[in-house]
Amino acid sequence: MPASRRHHRTLAAIVHCVGLLTALPILPAAGAPEAQRPVAAAAPATARPVAAAPATARPVAAAPAAGRPVTAATTDPSMPAAPPAVPTPTRVASPAAKPEVSVAVMPDNTAEPGYRIKVHNRGNAPVDTTVRQELPQGLSATAISDGGRETRPGGSAATEVTWRLKLPPRSTTTLGTTLTTAATQQPVTAPACAFSSDGQRPYDCATATWTGPGGVAAESQEPTGWRRQLPALLAGVVAVLVLGVVGLLAWRRRHRPVAAALSSDGPGTIYPRPAAPRPPARRRKPPVWVVVPVAATVLAGTVGAAAWSATQQVTAIDTDSQPTSGAWKGTGVSGELGMPLREDAFEFTVYRMTCEPGRNARQCQTTLGVRNLTRENQSWHGKLQRAYLANGNWVTTDEQATRRANQGRDVFAQPMAAGSRMVLPLVFTINGRETPQRLELRSGVFSAGVRVDVP
């Protein structure tokens, strides 16, 4: 066989093998089901058209069966396939469904603390609910609307008024209370909540503060705005006046020869031509009797403004507050039951606090309102919420008990959506017979948080 023909056959065999190896990826897998065979990519415009499939070929399934994972055969061949192992994006807790029962509390404009509680059922079915209004420590109810009674839950010092209602569909029920007259006529805050029929799961809560006729809610006495900078402004004005007087005296002294020459009657010139070159004039320095008072005035003003600012900052320190771990953002605030308190990201409102009696350990449950006032999703953690005891020790949220109180829902698992609000119970497990004296709540480790005194 000639060498040229032998070479041509060898080359043809190599090309044939390469073609087979190239065609292997697009061949259907042997024994694989038709629905799981990958669909071949679309042929380019310059490629030879593929022959039509025989009539006996099985058509590809149009849609996957219910609950069956989507494969290449069920996806659109014109769309690129998703890359493997794509990380699942972080899910944000969807706002809780708006409860069918809502509560609104309004203070009465009376001489004694009075409140009107409106409980609204927006649903199409009747709802059994328990409405509780927390009374401030030391006050009791003198008048209660029909069906209500005054109780002390769990043997605690706190007093509350309780109603058991059956709300008709699409109805609004109005309740009312009148409390004992406050001796000092200070504002009185009394929150109210609507619970499920067992009195454990809160539907909604609201709060209101009563202020006597003609009274004004107590405001902070700390000066704000320009009043806060008044000493520094006075020091600056004094310094400007002193500098102005010094400048005026210097100007008059510099122009005194000219004025004397213009006012004289004898011969002479205002600007005589010197017969010989004059030596360079020495720059005159302000006299000592001017420099010393000006410097003393500026120094006194600066030291006074700095001392005043330092005094105000030291006065603003709350020496009675419990230490906060890592409180670097915002300013810590304190309040009582029913007072909305704003910290770095959240607004916390403690509506109720009760403890179950027990020998070795007891569970204390607080009804808490949390509102995300920021424009971003915010995460919060149960370990950052604390209940302080009388001896200074503290415990964090019992997350397992809190999940059970929220019907199996982990309220800390997902971040709160921006602008959302929820009312939920938090549970603290305490060893011994002591009860919490104060709650410390915060949205993050670097937040100053809020502190709420509980009875």
Share of the chain above pLDDT 70, in %: 59
Mean pLDDT of the chain: 74
* 156 Cβ contact partners less than 8 Å away, ≥ 6 residues apart: 354, 355, 435, 455
The pLDDT value recorded for residue 256 is: 58
Lowest mean pLDDT among 158-162, 339-343, 393-397: 158-162
Lowest mean pLDDT among 37-46, 178-187, 209-218, 391-400: 37-46
pLDDT digits (tens, 9 = 90+) for 101-156: 999 999 998 888 999 999 999 999 999 999 999 998 888 899 999 889 998 876 56
Mean pLDDT in residue range 382-411: 93
3-state secondary structure (DSSP) of residue 373: coil
* 160 Cβ contact partners less than 8 Å away, ≥ 6 residues apart: 132, 133, 134, 135, 150, 151, 152, 153, 352
Share of the chain above pLDDT 90, in %: 36
DSSP 136-205: PTT--EEEE-TT-EEE-GGG-S-EEEEEEEEEPTTEEEEEEEEEPPPTT---EE--EEEE-TTS-SEEEE
Band of residue 321 on the pLDDT scale cut at 50, 70, 90? very low
Mean pLDDT in residue range 346-358: 89
Give the whole-angstrom CA distance, residue 407 versus residue 430: 21
Q: Which two tokens stand for residue 366?
A: 């607080």
Calculated CA dihedral for residues 196, 199, 203, 208, nearest 10 degrees = 140
Contact indicator for 380, 430 with CB cutoff of 8 Å: no
Lowest mean pLDDT among 2-6, 68-72, 180-184, 421-425: 68-72
Mean pLDDT in residue range 209-236: 58
CA-nearest of 33, 43, 44 to 73 is 33
Give the whole-angstrom CA distance, residue 454 versus residue 335: 9
Give the whole-angstrom CA distance, residue 70 versus residue 82: 11
Is the pLDDT at 263 greater than 70? The verdict is no
3-state secondary structure (DSSP) of residue 393: coil
Write down all domains in the chain, each with its CATH number in brackets.
101-210 (2.60.40.290), 333-453 (2.60.40.1240)
